[in-house]
Every structure is written in C-alpha cells, then in structure tokens.
Amino acid sequence: MSIGEAIRHAPNAYVPVPVRIGHTARDIDGVFTWVLEPSEPFAFAPGQFNMLYAHGVGEVPISISGDPNDSSSLHHTIRVVGSVTQALGALEVGHEVGVRGPFGSAWPLAEASGQDVLFVAGGLGLAPLRPAILSVLARRNEFGQVIIIYGARSPADILFRNELERWRGRFDITLEATVDHSGTDWYGPVGVVTRLVAEADIDPEYCLAMLCGPEIMMRFTARELEQRGLDASQIWVSLERSMKCAVGLCGHCQLGGTFVCKDGPVYRYDRVASMLLVRGL
C-alpha cells in the first residue's frame, strides 16, 4: 500500500476527530477498555488500529478490539504504560478523545475461509485478535476447526475472562488457556502457550494461524507451528513498533524495508521472520 493509498483509506489521516466516551471498564490491573460513540458509522477491518489523542499530551497507536460488524461503537483496550495512556486513563464517560484512523493491514480472514483457523494470543495480544475471532464466530460455517489458545502471566492477568468463558462453552470451537504461574485458585494448565500449540489438533495442510502477543512468544509459537508442518506463509503475526504519524512519513516504525503503520501491523510471517531475529530491529 502506498502512502497516498493509506491516506485515502483514512479520511482523517492527519486531524483527530473528537469522539465521545460512552462506556469505560477496568479489565485487569492497569488495563481498561473504552466503548467510544462515533457520530458517524465507523468501519474497520480486524487487525487495524487507531491513533488516540489525549488533548495537550499526545497520541498513541491502539488496536481496535471491538466487533467489526458493529459500526456504531468503537472499542479500544488500553494498557497504562506512559504519559499519554495515563492521560487517557484519567478520562471518564462523556469526555471526548481525538481519533485518527483506521490504519494498517488486517488479519487474513478471506484467505482463512474454508480452512482450520488457529488463534494464539499472549497477554494483551488477545485484544487485537478479538475482532478477527468475533468475525470468524459470526460466520462459523465458513471455516473448519476453530482453535483459540491464550496465555497470561497469572489468573489475575487474564483479559476478557467472561468472554473467554462464553467461547469455551461453545461446542463448535476449542479454547485452551494457560498461565505462567498460579496459586491454588487455578485449575487449568500452567506453562507457556507453545506447550498447548504442540498439542493442538491441527491439520498443517489446511490451517491458517494468527498470532499476537509478546514478540518472543510469537517467534517460539511460529517455530513450533513450523515443526508441526505449517509453512511460514500460513502464519500471520501482528507487530508493535514506535508509531508517530501512522501514514509512513516519519519513519519511526520502520522495520527493514517496511513501515509497521502502513505495511503492518499484521504481516505474513515469511515476510518478517528473518528481520525479527535481528536484535534491535
């Protein structure tokens, strides 16, 4: 996608549009989700992100975590990690936030049609995958097996716990969750997600995998999937880099010969695998 195409894709590429906060909820410690109420229908593709602007402080890229079939609301799940996200976290229902977007590439749902779909999320990586999961569940008959594997640091760090329980209760998908460490209140698996990936009932010939989470998790998961017989072209990842302009002009998010803001954040793994092995890139 060229810079001109990216700008045309986002009508308000340079100017934040004020959008009202309709609902806010604390998900886990340090993480909250907004439901924004745009004045006009807001369409996006699963995997895309917006730039959220805290007036007088700055803006940050945040993945869209809502249902792409609902253009009347806009969901963002945000971790408080810096001055901008702290300012955003201090806003309440009725306040307005600046929004630019949507930007970036999307999860390959069209390519996944007719295949088994494996979602692997780590920590907050479930938020960018959630729109794709909701899209697949809304068109469940178009896909083969649907497997969701989620890993968190501890039971207290599990994101969207109630929704995960609803998904687990379905008879047409498989959902497995694991934590790195736990106390006596956790009865599920303990360990890294790659252990569950190694045990997943997948047919490597007819499987497409979508991964999102810490980069080291995605690298080891991709390696495990390749050992299971998947080609790197069947694996897709969502990457994070320092984004400032979101349209490929500033160069802050350059990754090799690509810009994560416009060529990503969703990449086919064979296109970035070698670059992810370079420290500091």
Tens-place pLDDT, residues 155-177: 999 999 999 999 999 999 999 99
| Bond into 265 cis (ω within 30) | yes
Q: What is the mean pLDDT of residues 21-31?
A: 95
Band the pLDDT of 275: cuts 50, 70, 90.
confident
In this prediction, residue 5 carries a pLDDT of 44
Helix pair angle (126-138, 161-168), 10° resolution: 30
pLDDT band at 180 (very low <50, low <70, confident <90, very high): very high
Reported as a pLDDT band with limits 50, 70 and 90, residue 11 is: low
Q: Give residue 216's pLDDT.
A: 94
Predicted pLDDT of residue 188: 86
The DSSP symbol for 39 reads S
Tokens found for residue 200: 């997943």
Contacts 24+ apart (CB under 8 A), 57-61: 57/83, 57/84, 57/87, 58/83, 58/84, 59/16, 59/84, 59/98, 59/100, 60/84, 60/85, 60/88, 61/103, 61/243, 61/246, 61/261
For the chain, the average pLDDT equals: 92
What Rg, from alpha-carbon coordinates, does the chain have? 18
Ramachandran bin of 102, using left for φ above 0, alpha for ψ from -120 to 50, beta for the remaining angles: beta
Arithmetic mean of pLDDT, 233-237:
98
Q: Kindly indicate the confidence band of residue 186, based on its pLDDT and cuts at 50, 70 and 90.
A: confident
189-197: average pLDDT? 92
Q: What is the pLDDT of residue 280?
A: 62
Residue 6 has pLDDT above 50, yes or no: no
Provide the pLDDT for residue 36: 97
Q: How far is it, in rounded angstroms, from Cα 52 to Cα 108?
A: 25
User: CA torsion angle for 263, 266, 271, 276 (degrees, to 10)?
Assistant: 100
Q: What is the pLDDT of residue 140?
A: 96
**pLDDT-derived band at 66, boundaries 50, 70, 90:** very high
* CA atoms within 13 A of residue 205's CA, in its CB half-sphere: 0
Does residue 114 carry a pLDDT above 90? yes
**What domains are there in the chain, each with its CATH number?**
3-103 (2.40.30.10), 109-276 (3.40.50.80)
pLDDT over threshold 50, residue 129:
yes
pTM of the model: 0.93
pLDDT band at 183 (very low <50, low <70, confident <90, very high): confident
